[in-house]
Structure 1
Amino acid sequence: MVDYKVTVFTTEQISAGTFNNVFIKLVGTDGESESEKLKDTSFLGHIPAGSVCNFTISCPVSIGELLLIEIQKQNFLWLIRNAWLPAKVKVQSPEGKTYTFPIYRWITDDKVHRFREGKALRVFDETHHLGKFNRKKELRMREEVYCWDVYAEGIPHTIKADNTSSLPPEVHFSFTKDIVFRWNILTRGVQMRLRGYYGNKKNWNDIDDINHVFWSKRTAISDYVQKHWKEDAFFGYQFLNGVNPMLIRRCTALPENFRVTDEMVSLHGQCSLEDEMKEGNIFLCNYKCLDEVELQEIDGKKQYLMAPLVLLHKIPDNKLMPIAIRLKQTPADDNPIFLPTDSEYDWLMAKMFVRSANFHEHEYSVHLLRTHLLAEVFAVSLLRNVPMVHPLYKLLKLHTRYTLQINVLARLHLISEGGVLSENSACNREGMITILKRSMSTMTYSSLCIPDDIAERGLGAVPNFYYRDDGLRLWDIIHSFVQRVLSYYYKNDDEVQRDTELQKWILDIFEHGFLSQAGTGIPEKLSTIHELVKYVTMVIFTCSAQHAAVNDGQYDYGAWMPNTPTTMQLPPPTTKGTTMVETIPNISTTVKGMVAMWLLSQPPSDFVALGDYPEEHFNEKDPCEAIKDFQHELKKLSAEIRVRNTSLEIPYTYMDPTEMENSVTI
């Protein structure tokens, strides 16, 4: 007889343990063991969360190199049925070799589940018939579980799930995450209802009255916003370092529908617009994506949303100042160009309509489409097409954490008919879909890769652009990490081309995420290691850094409603002169918008920072060392960002790697 020493690790997550009986079988190249019950447990066979259980499996002779293990969980006394979340199983063979089998998946039924040894294998690395068979079987099962669905024509496809309970257990929130998430929703809503604001449909009497709801949840930046929201310099600053740094671009020629003249604007040193454009000092923000989208009524009142054009000028002290605003795309007598030389009131109203437009552009085009929906596509394609033993799965699995559940919740409660966001923004659901489709039609591969995007928008030399500075550093760090890991597994371009699972993953994303759009530069296949590394870098950056940049500051910049109105109750002025408190959102809409942005900005209860890999999917030395070096580089960048922020009037923290999650979880 030969003995195999088996160690079973259960995750520390609350409710991860089980009272059920657990049986384990070892499968090797030369045979298999009997299915043995896990014996080293506590009272009544309970396997506690965080436990490490040891037992021995004996075989008449060696079963060779271990390929996989089979785990089966059976009900205890047929009365108690509960799930179990094992982390990994380690097996020491009689020859003295240690095998590690990563699991990190809920086992909820009494079926036999098979898990491969931790060494990463591409499809053409498989030499044993059992490995090939189980690889195919796993992917067939995943294709049945993770199905595509069409939420709306013209936008990325989603996972087919009517509600969160219909999602596979392995992608559910943790117990802690679920409880805290529900508690946040409940308590914030109850607070506002008890104060009598939630259902109050009256208009504000005065801008300062908004303090009655603003005081309850404040941040250092939200306080700054309240004090400075009227200032032109702060208005310009937000296009670079607010929640939507994705729209501004260098202006080299004025659009036909925005003919601003030298006589209209006053530039430093009496320079001409033409001269300043040549110097790279003029910038444009064009909200054409919002033009004439379908609007809705709130509390019986029609709402209004503009599609502005904004011209900005970098002045010698490096501030970005707005110099002209047109609120609608089509030039007309009743669509004036607003200027800083107008009355303070008219100029402020024009900027507020821009900020309301920015709310919609940000929430739907930048936040929902370019992070949440794309992250969901990346996740579904990975889970459908790439087995657990594949190096790509091991690299990307934690960057998909919680994304499917948070997106299903968003479709059920946030952007659905009657959802918190839908019912408190200017456009209805059809208008939202229109914005998404338009944004989708202009999406390019380069716009998703920050080095290319910054270059294409002509923003490489803009001062005080911290999203760019931190983002480019993060991209380089992620890229170096990805290159190191994938170059360990792919030694030449031919291996990339031969990996059918990898190619199916990228094709699925192209078809279901980017809707097979030609001419966008988005690849439908990968031919080289260089292409693979860049694409995977884009995926990780989108799911972590980019989402943090456009998500985490929502409450900071939106809590003080006049800075980010979620809608406007009156149309923009056709002539200069209008009434502010009758135009901005009423009390109820203001409060509901604040609640939504507060919830969207909450740090998760079980936060996993970029670079943290609590699940040990890699066994090989080189990838494990690459992870440690990756973490070291991220900590260095975080320290540099924090030192820089001490000298800033408005600290920019959203791209601090220690403050951002590995995945889209909120």
Structure 2
Amino acid sequence: MSFNIYVPKDERFSHVKMADALGYALKLIVQVLKPELESLFDSTPNEFDSFQDVLKLYEGGIKLPEGVFKDIRENIPSELIKEIFRTDGENFLRFPTPQVIKEDKSAWRTDEEFARELLAGINPVIIRSLQEFPPTSKLDPKVYGDQTSRMTKEQIEINLDGLTVDEAIRKKKLFILDHHDSLMPYMRRINSTSTKAYASRTVLFLKSDGTLKPLAIELSLPHAEGDQFGAISKVYTPAEQGVENSIWQLAKAYVAVVDSGVHQLISHWLHTHATIEPFIIATHRQLSVLHPIHKLLHPHFRDTMNINALARQILINAGGALELTVFPAKYSMELSSAMYKNWVFPEQALPVDLIKRGMAVEDPTARHGLRLLIEDYPFATWVQDYCSYYYKTDDTVKKDSELQAWWKELREEGHGDKKDEPWWPKMQTREDLIESCTIIIWIASALHAAINFGQYPYGGFPLLRPSISRRFMPEEGTPEYDEVATNPDKAFLKTITSQLQTVLGISLIEVLSRHTSDEVYLGQRDTPNWTTDAEPLEFFHKFGDKLRKIEEQIMSMNNDEKLKNRFGPVKMPYTLLYPSSEGGLTGMGIPNSVSI
């Protein structure tokens, strides 16, 4: 039944893609492996006993009873079983070693790596410049009371290299990862499930070497007497030893939990998969296949409707795999849908998004007229040339009836909740057309690649990117606090994602982080004769040349020792925006479309 979905025939996965184990692997994990593992872990311990137990996932695997494979053998080709389980004996569930621990198995715990991944990890689109202190809230005070941060200047000024907070803000040296306002309205309901999580704020300082240093983490819960009484918050600061260090490590884990969920539900599903689909439908319904804009955009829609349909059926559905493996549990889709109210089409583009978050400022003297506040923030377009070839004047845009019908449908029906927003481009000028097509292509290609294909290289190691927390921060004087003092690793493991949820979660993200062998990357076309017009073909070849030069530049920057955010303590170069890739689990490559 999971594959009994409606997708138009020309939107279905190719036979090659299915044979590359995508569809079969998802079916295996959700329909076969999930219930078998649940049964298994009902009768065996549901916890990792040590960090070494977690590492066994990659070094030897988890021993599974023979019965686990009965249904698999009957339904899945043997070559796919070997591919997914990577063992000839078929008795071990073993995973490839995530890149983040290949060179150093402990560097993930450092503050430097924690901060670096806010810029170069799998969710680099949330961090922003801090403009005021203490951080404030935009939640309605009549409903949620006082949600202003409880951080104090005294708590963070000891780590500002001699600056005051006000001076650091003026010099644009303070940054924040803010998961407070988006989560606080849901925390009471989320924490009524088995989840025990916090809304969080994390403040960081930009050091002279261009790296970030975490200064404080605030964890907040709704007031016990009602939302209108504001938040109950506690602030944690870095500590290098003793129980204070263990508590600090837990505070970072709680931040990772909510950032992991926000990444999956909002940055990934909502802002790429979901928001791009109305553009696909409107394009097919209103633009003929011979229309130049259809030809421009068509490669960037490949496989998206099929993967979205599968996701709705077996991943993000009620009771599906995602609800089991991310902290909002049964409120996952409600939270994701609610965040759509903040979606603004023009703000999805670069550099608009960077400027909005205060990560960059306009500077006519700088390259591309933009100056990054963090020089090393690892996160060429041919659209202008292409559109200008077919649309010589603004009037040709206005008088293109297909184009106008396309734009009307995707605004008024595809994104109907947003149809009256004043920020939509009017589609009356060539600039409107170029801007809109560029944003669509950016969302479908590079933005999705940046937040998808690092899922396993980073998130495949659950200690680094736990997706669920199962108990609150231990309070002094309790047995749980004593356990943090005497056996911090055990306390850590009891707090984050359980063994079952871990195995299911990393099984899923491994599949979703892989390139299939028929992938078509940015700057490529699956048919060489997609147009007979010589100039657009030449523009496209030039675009491909630009991408190859960009890849060379990225490689060169990764080798520059001064750019520390590209490598970090884990010795893992930033490759997520390499345009090209081979098939498989590579942590690089920009497919044309949201194809996985």
Structure 2 partner of 1:118: none
Which of 216, 232, 236 is the equivalent residue of 2:115?
Answer: 236
Tell me if structure 2 keeps the 8 A contact 1:294–1:428. Answer: no
Which of 246, 252, 260 is the equivalent residue of 2:131?
Answer: 252
Q: Which moved more, 1:239-248 or 1:574-583?
A: 574-583
Structure 2 partner of 1:132: none
CA drift of 1:328 comes to 1.4
Residue-by-residue CA offset, 1:567-587 (whole Å, 9 max, x unaligned): 111123456945322211211
Rounded to whole Å, the distance in 2 between the matches of 1:596 and 1:654 is 19
Which of 330, 335, 347 is the equivalent residue of 2:233?
Answer: 335
**Alpha-carbon distance change, 195 to 645 in structure 1, aligned in 2, over 3 angstroms:** farther
Structure 2 partner of 1:210: 54
Which of 171, 176, 184 is the equivalent residue of 1:291?
Answer: 184
**Alpha-carbon distance change, 396 to 581 in structure 1, aligned in 2, over 3 angstroms:** same
Which of 323, 337, 346 is the equivalent residue of 1:422?
Answer: 323
Structure 2 partner of 1:656: 578
**Alpha-carbon distance change, 321 to 518 in structure 1, aligned in 2, over 3 angstroms:** farther
Residue-by-residue CA offset, 1:428-465 (whole Å, 9 max, x unaligned): 34x22332233211122343011011112111233354
CA drift of 1:252 comes to 1.3
Tell me if structure 2 keeps the 8 A contact 1:295–1:428. Answer: no
Rounded to whole Å, the distance in 1 between the matches of 2:466 and 2:105 is 13
Which of 532, 555, 558 is the equivalent residue of 1:642?
Answer: 555
Which of 498, 501, 505 is the equivalent residue of 1:593?
Answer: 505
**Alpha-carbon distance change, 314 to 524 in structure 1, aligned in 2, over 3 angstroms:** closer
Matched, 1:264 2:155: yes
Rounded to whole Å, the distance in 1 between the matches of 2:37 and 2:401 is 58
CA drift of 1:420 comes to 1.6
Rounded to whole Å, the distance in 2 between the matches of 1:333 and 1:394 is 52
Q: Which moved more, 1:359-368 or 1:578-587?
A: 578-587
Matched, 1:437 2:337: yes
Q: Say which SS state the counterpart of residue 215 (structure 2) adopts.
A: strand
Identical columns (%): 26
Matched, 1:169 2:9: yes
Structure 1 partner of 2:544: 631
Matched, 1:386 2:287: yes
Which of 301, 307, 310 is the equivalent residue of 1:406?
Answer: 307
Return the letter of the residue paired with 1:236: A
Structure 2 partner of 1:182: 23
Rounded to whole Å, the distance in 1 between the matches of 2:348 and 2:400 is 24
Tell me if structure 2 keeps the 8 A contact 1:379–1:400. Answer: yes
Which of 271, 274, 277 is the equivalent residue of 1:370?
Answer: 271
Structure 2 partner of 1:606: 518
Rounded to whole Å, the distance in 2 between the matches of 1:570 and 1:374 is 34
Tell me if structure 1 keeps the 8 A contact 2:100–2:458. Answer: yes
Structure 1 partner of 2:531: 618
Q: Say which SS state the counterpart of residue 535 (structure 1) adopts.
A: helix
Tell me if structure 1 keeps the 8 A contact 2:188–2:222. Answer: no
Return the letter of the residue paired with 1:167: V
Structure 2 partner of 1:313: 205
Return the letter of the residue paired with 1:258: S
Q: Which runs of at least 4 in structure 1 moved beyond 6 Å after TM superposition?
A: 186-199, 294-298
CA drift of 1:302 comes to 1.3
Tell me if structure 1 keeps the 8 A contact 2:2–2:310. Answer: no
CA drift of 1:206 comes to 2.1
Rounded to whole Å, the distance in 2 between the matches of 1:198 and 1:507 is 52
Structure 2 partner of 1:531: 432
**Alpha-carbon distance change, 510 to 163 in structure 1, aligned in 2, over 3 angstroms:** farther
Which of 442, 454, 464 is the equivalent residue of 2:354?
Answer: 454
- Report the RMSD for the aligned CA atoms in angstroms: 2.8
Which of 469, 493, 496 is the equivalent residue of 2:394?
Answer: 493
Structure 2 partner of 1:665: 595
CA drift of 1:424 comes to 1.9
CA drift of 1:165 comes to 4.8
Tell me if structure 2 keeps the 8 A contact 1:381–1:509. Answer: yes
CA drift of 1:313 comes to 0.7
* Residue-pair matches, total: 494
Q: Say which SS state the counterpart of residue 378 (structure 2) adopts.
A: helix
Rounded to whole Å, the distance in 2 between the matches of 1:357 and 1:224 is 27
Structure in which a larger fraction of residues adopt helix: 2
Structure 1 partner of 2:102: 223
Rounded to whole Å, the distance in 1 between the matches of 2:413 and 2:198 is 31
**Alpha-carbon distance change, 598 to 521 in structure 1, aligned in 2, over 3 angstroms:** farther
Structure 2 partner of 1:111: none
Structure in which a larger fraction of residues adopt strand: 1
Q: Which moved more, 1:311-320 or 1:259-268?
A: 259-268
Return the letter of the residue paired with 2:162: Q
Rounded to whole Å, the distance in 1 between the matches of 2:183 and 2:404 is 36
Rounded to whole Å, the distance in 1 between the matches of 2:591 and 2:305 is 15
Return the letter of the residue paired with 2:55: N
Return the letter of the residue paired with 2:184: D
Q: Say which SS state the counterpart of residue 310 (structure 1) adopts.
A: strand
Q: Say which SS state the counterpart of residue 468 (structure 2) adopts.
A: coil
Rounded to whole Å, the distance in 1 between the matches of 2:256 and 2:104 is 13
Q: Which moved more, 1:332-341 or 1:489-498?
A: 332-341
Rounded to whole Å, the distance in 2 between the matches of 1:166 and 1:404 is 10
**Alpha-carbon distance change, 524 to 315 in structure 1, aligned in 2, over 3 angstroms:** closer
Return the letter of the residue paired with 1:641: I
Matched, 1:572 2:473: yes
Rounded to whole Å, the distance in 2 between the matches of 1:427 and 1:268 is 35
Rounded to whole Å, the distance in 2 between the matches of 1:252 and 1:411 is 39
Structure-1-length-normalised TM-score: 0.69
Residue-by-residue CA offset, 1:173-232 (whole Å, 9 max, x unaligned): 110101221344467788996999776561222233211214331143343574222111
Structure 1 partner of 2:63: none
Rounded to whole Å, the distance in 2 between the matches of 1:335 and 1:574 is 13
**Alpha-carbon distance change, 443 to 225 in structure 1, aligned in 2, over 3 angstroms:** farther
CA drift of 1:301 comes to 7.2
Residue-by-residue CA offset, 1:461-487 (whole Å, 9 max, x unaligned): 33354434xxxxxxxx12xx1111111
The 5 A counterparts of 1:112-131 are none
Structure having greater relative contact order (Cα 8 Å, sep ≥ 6):
2
Tell me if structure 2 keeps the 8 A contact 1:402–1:664. Answer: yes
Rounded to whole Å, the distance in 2 between the matches of 1:434 and 1:195 is 25
CA drift of 1:389 comes to 1.2
**Alpha-carbon distance change, 218 to 339 in structure 1, aligned in 2, over 3 angstroms:** same
Rounded to whole Å, the distance in 2 between the matches of 1:259 and 1:536 is 43
CA drift of 1:292 comes to 4.2
Tell me if structure 2 keeps the 8 A contact 1:172–1:405. Answer: yes
Return the letter of the residue paired with 2:233: N
